Structure 1
Amino acid sequence: MSGNTLGKLFCVSNFGESHGPAIGAVVDGCPPGLPLDEADIQFELDRRRPGTSRHVTQRQEADQVEILSGVYQGMTTGTPIGLLIRNVDARSKDYSNITDTFRPGHADYTYWRKYGERDPRGGGRSSARLTAPTVAAGAIAKKWLTQTYGVTVRGYMSQLGPIPIPFESWEHVANNPFYAPNAQIVPELEQYMDQLRRDGDSVGARIEVVAENPPPGWGEPLYDRLDADIAHAMMGLNAVKGVSIGAGFDCVSQRGSEHGDELTPDGFLSNHAGGVLGGISSGQPITVSLAIKPTSSIRIERQSINRAGEPVQVQTLGRHDPCVGIRATPIVEALLAIVLMDHALRHRAQCGTETTNP
């Protein structure tokens, strides 16, 4: 009911606050016998962590993960896996000016209206800092999916603010701070971000994530559709305002003769469905696109109110990402992996087979 757990059989419960002593996750439902150590998880956390370039928040967090339970002699035991990441570089004083006011576009106001209390330090529970435990849990799911089914999950940035990023090659994605699949455009992106930081403003981004080699048959009819659960998980990521599967909103202008993916003895001729038909995986790549809004915490003064309902001007200090989309790629990969692993386990539980293909 509290909304902090994702999944049914592979369950990830996220805990902590941005400026608390630690953040973390409890991962329940991972099958036994998966080789796992901190290095497997740390690799993914290092891709997401802050302070890695001048274009993201300069908060210096090592994001060093500790495995507290569920692993013995390098193997998962089938019991809950406790993951802990300590906060070491929080500067709570930066938020003293918003204790009684609300930042426009942020969750300050709604958290206060829901709970009657809120932690203003770094956004508290609504901070993007809480995506680190998601990435840690996703690292487990990614490894299990690869070893069990040969499924790989990877993503990239396809647009930064007004700048579209043409896809050139996957090899470029890991070699720049934007996860851009095009090396030639990186200088333009850097110039744009440098000016944005000088302006004290923020911008949004578009992220693409793909799961390759998924078997057909994962997902359920109607309310537990695979694509519905993917959208649900992605909308749980801070700042996501739109999710599309396959052709997404482009299908509005397509005709049925174009959108419907034709089948041949050798397979599908297109993938407008994004790898999901009727809520069940088709065996094609699962493709997801996300729209991420501009960061709400900016240095430009904006109108708001205080707890008494009086008008105020709000300027957010502290260290923030001018574009939260820059560090989002590892997070959306983790979320997709978590959903896919959950559905893989649910398919095995219901059908008793790895795949229903003859």
Structure 2
Amino acid sequence: MSTFGTLFRVTTYGESHCASVGAIIDGCPPGLPLDSQDVQTQLSRRRPGQSNLTTPRDEKDLVHLQSGIEHGITLGTPIGLLVKNEDQRPRDYSETDLYPRPSHADWTYLEKYGVKASSGGGRSSARETIGRVAAGAIAEKYLKLTHGIEIVAFVSSVGKVKLPSTVSSPSQASSEDDDIVEDSLSPEFVNLLKTVTRAQVDAHLTRCPHPETAERMTKRIIRAKEAQDSIGGTVTCVIRGVPSGLGEPVFDKLEAKLGHAMLSIPATKGFEIGSGFRGTEVPGSKHNDPFVSKADGSLGTSTNWSGGIQGGISNGEDIYFRVGFKSPATISQAQETVQYDGTSGTLAARGRHDPCVVPRAVPIVEAMASLVIIDQLLIQNARKTASSLLPTITTLPPTMVKPASSA
């Protein structure tokens, strides 16, 4: 369906070449100071035509707030917003009348609905993410004002060009011990997760905050573009300041909700949180995150292989994860394929496309992260409020009950 969230519910609408795209946000708390610029900042980071590394489609993506706000304050009623599609070129997609484009949703949408959009990717197009980014910007402002939560995403790889993130493992050739896996996060990468800002991310067109790697990424994207080809990559996201206790075991674990959100973004092919797949190679004795006492008397962990989530619930540490994006399916090279009737042929796709989507995916990842966190925060606050109305528990051992002063 087209709705995401439980208490903070976002419904997006629109296709890639219809009159407009947008969203309805239901459940935004009343009293939040909000104007169009709060939303526009993130939409402008997502919009096409930003540089020679992205699609040349010329869309300003100006947001129009339609409801739920008066005098710059949210009313608690549904917020409607829309963005007009201005640079439409449906004629660029006339070949899709005959051919299902390789690795696109043309065929699967037709199989599912019995009808499909005649141009572009329809609902599978990245234009659909405008509503997500706009809604995420609203959620993010609430999270920042109420809890100081910060969400920053950045490009961590393009093709085989990767941001340095780990301490090199000792050579396996010099040891027969398969348990020697020292591929821990480097101090530099840990510091990056703790300190990186969006200004640092946006300082380079690739949105990689490591200048040397960013230059190599640029060359790789340009090489794909000049070859009329495309290339994929990964986006890493860190969420700082998340309170402990968020997440709904068993089936709605916080990492499961984040995975759901990220894998709903067009072109995504992978999600890993914390140590991810590297955690399968590290013995438990090295992978465990020992508890320590923080300066404020609360508990924390000395390492963060868990990525800020344990048992499906946030533990108060930074949450970090990585999302994999495939190479864009639309390329200008001629491809041997078949028509809808099975007749063999050659498809030379037209249209405007990104040679690599990850630079523009950064604000989309941030938006989906904010939608997950605000929803889980509202759910947890509702539970805590309901619990606070009950008599104080005095019949259980102290180790089973959180002290009222720290609740």
The TM-score bracket by the shorter chain reads over 0.9
* 1:120 CA displacement: 3.4
CA distance in 1, matches of 2:264, 2:215: 32
TM-score with structure 1 length normalisation?
A: 0.96
- Write out per-residue CA displacement over residues 11-37 of structure 1, whole angstroms, 9 at most, x where no aligned residue: 010100000000000000000000000
1:239 pairs, out of 259, 267, 272, with 267
Letter in 2 for 1:315: A
Aligned sequence identity (%): 41
1:327 counterpart = 2:327: no
Higher alpha-carbon deviation: 10-19 or 122-131: 122-131
Match in the other structure for 1:202: 230
1:131 counterpart = 2:137: no
CA distance in 2, matches of 1:165, 1:90: 36
Match in the other structure for 2:283: 255
Letter in 1 for 2:201: V
* 1:80 CA displacement: 0.4
SS in 2 for 1:97: helix
CA distance in 2, matches of 1:353, 1:41: 33
CA distance in 2, matches of 1:190, 1:295: 16
CA distance in 1, matches of 2:339, 2:73: 51
1:308 pairs, out of 341, 348, 366, with 341
Please say if residues 203 and 209 of structure 2, whose CA atoms lie closer than 8 Å, have aligned partners that are also in contact.
no
- Write out per-residue CA displacement over residues 284-314 of structure 1, whole angstroms, 9 at most, x where no aligned residue: 1111101100000001122322221222222
SS in 1 for 2:212: coil
Q: Equivalences for 1:10-159 in 2 at 5 Å? A: 10-159=8-157
Higher alpha-carbon deviation: 182-191 or 248-257: 182-191
Structure 1: gaps (5+ residues): none
Letter in 1 for 2:319: I
2:160 pairs, out of 162, 171, 176, with 162
Q: Equivalences for 1:203-242 in 2 at 5 Å? A: 203-242=231-270
1:276 counterpart = 2:309: yes
CA distance in 2, matches of 1:193, 1:354: 53
Distance 1:200 1:354, change over 3 A: farther
Please say if residues 261 and 272 of structure 1, whose CA atoms lie closer than 8 Å, have aligned partners that are also in contact.
yes
TM-score with structure 2 length normalisation?
A: 0.85
CA RMSD of aligned residues (A): 1.6
- Write out per-residue CA displacement over residues 199-222 of structure 1, whole angstroms, 9 at most, x where no aligned residue: 010010110011101000011111
- Aligned length, in residue pairs: 356
Please say if residues 19 and 90 of structure 1, whose CA atoms lie closer than 8 Å, have aligned partners that are also in contact.
yes
1:285 counterpart = 2:318: yes
Letter in 2 for 1:92: P
- Write out per-residue CA displacement over residues 156-184 of structure 1, whole angstroms, 9 at most, x where no aligned residue: 00101111123675353121111101123
2:5 pairs, out of 4, 7, 24, with 7
* 1:354 CA displacement: 11
Letter in 1 for 2:305: H
- Write out per-residue CA displacement over residues 76-118 of structure 1, whole angstroms, 9 at most, x where no aligned residue: 0000000100000011110011222111111111111111111
Letter in 1 for 2:384: C
Higher alpha-carbon deviation: 119-128 or 327-336: 119-128
Distance 1:354 1:195, change over 3 A: farther
CA distance in 1, matches of 2:34, 2:386: 25
* 1:237 CA displacement: 0.1
CA distance in 2, matches of 1:76, 1:354: 27
* 1:225 CA displacement: 0.9
Match in the other structure for 2:395: none
Letter in 1 for 2:370: A
CA distance in 1, matches of 2:247, 2:5: 13
Higher alpha-carbon deviation: 171-180 or 154-163: 171-180
Higher alpha-carbon deviation: 28-37 or 172-181: 172-181
Higher alpha-carbon deviation: 282-291 or 120-129: 120-129
Distance 1:161 1:354, change over 3 A: farther
* 1:334 CA displacement: 0.3
1:347 counterpart = 2:380: yes
Match in the other structure for 2:394: none
Distance 1:264 1:186, change over 3 A: closer
CA distance in 1, matches of 2:238, 2:118: 35
CA distance in 2, matches of 1:176, 1:354: 48
Letter in 2 for 1:226: L
CA distance in 2, matches of 1:61, 1:318: 14
Distance 1:32 1:56, change over 3 A: same
CA distance in 2, matches of 1:272, 1:187: 29
Higher alpha-carbon deviation: 264-273 or 210-219: 264-273
Higher alpha-carbon deviation: 339-348 or 301-310: 301-310
Structure 2: gaps (5+ residues): 166-187, 295-299, 389-401
Match in the other structure for 1:295: 328
